[in-house]
Amino acid sequence: SKVADLMGVMHYMEGMNLITVLELVPPTSDENVTVTDTEFNNVPVRLYLPKRAPGGLRRAVVYFHGGGWCLGDAGMKGYDHISRRMSNELNAVVVSVNYRLAPQHRFPVQFEDVYSVTKFFLQSKVLSQYEVDPTRVCVAGDSAGGNLAAAVAQQLLEDPEVKTKLKAQILLYPALQALDLDLPSYRDNAHKPILSRALMVRFWSEYFTSDPTLREAMASNRHVAAESSHLFQFVNWSRLLPVEMRKAHAYSGPALGAAGLAQRYPGFLDPRASPLLASDARLRRLPPTYILTCEHDVLRDDGVMYAERLRAAGVPVTHHHAKDAFHGATMFILWPLELAVGHRIFHAYTDWLKENL
């Protein structure tokens, strides 16, 4: 991808997205679940409907895949497997959303797509059509999808048109802030597999623009100007991380950058892109939350800080920290990339859903 990008053959993310294409599987029903590709509010979704009798109204999960807002698809083998497993084991309707991706589409398009689907699905007539209990609906997502799930849950609180309240939100190793990209987890795991610091910086910058100026500023952690420095209180890891995660790292606060970047690309200061920037008043209205973080992951501290802020706001939080896991671990439950840690993590959050949704 890097070589093709440098040669001008294709954009870096278009090259990376070949992984997605190779993993796509058609919507195939089985003895337990009916699977179809359709659209909700003109946004493509893959829909999973359990075949067994509901025995009353069903649960529902609206799921957003990961991939740094640039990659991924609900039809990838791993996501398809996870969605049909959730549908069957929870006897739940699962709506897996195919939101538009960067670099063709920038923030807030991805957020607007997933929000549009969620709002459409939460209508009484739609829930009734799929025999869904309006008191048992959640949003969920992994990585960039966890970012979108957190943002959707927050935005729904402000929407007077939405009468149905979410029962829960499930955030699997979510990306939750683009202000400080030099957290202890970014330092400790800068070169760990699956998601390096350089790749995460590239994902963040591509979410907003292909302008290399923003990417370079983010790489040096000098992209927030002085007039926005008050926002650092929401991502101050010296206050929000436990001692064992701060380790020997000293907090000095990020270096400040030029004002022009935020004026050209204000998205990285927007709570719809950085849910950790939400006020305490907004956070305290959120539903019960499940957060998974992995020790060997640049995004570890985002999830830990969000769990701390939610708890402080009075939100019931289950924070599962997997000390032996890495970013993307839940995808490693299929041969030939099958790991015990992937199965353990998958069972942990589906068991939580069985009890709390």
Question: What amino acid positions are annotated as catalytic residues?
Answer: 143, 297, 327
Report residue 343 CA to chain centroid gap: 20
Contact 325, 341 (CB under 8 A): yes
> Residue 153 is encoded by which pair of tokens?
């849950």
59 residue type, one letter: R
338: left (phi over 0), alpha (psi -120 to 50) or beta: beta
Beta strands in the chain (DSSP E): 33-40, 43-50, 58-64, 92-97, 132-142, 168-172, 289-296, 317-326, 333-334, 337-338
User: Does the CA dihedral 353-43-207-201 come out positive or negative?
Assistant: positive
Hey, which residues does 64 pair with through a beta bridge? 97, 141
Phi, psi of 84 (to 5 degrees): -70, -30
Q: CB of 354 within 8 A of CB of 318?
A: no
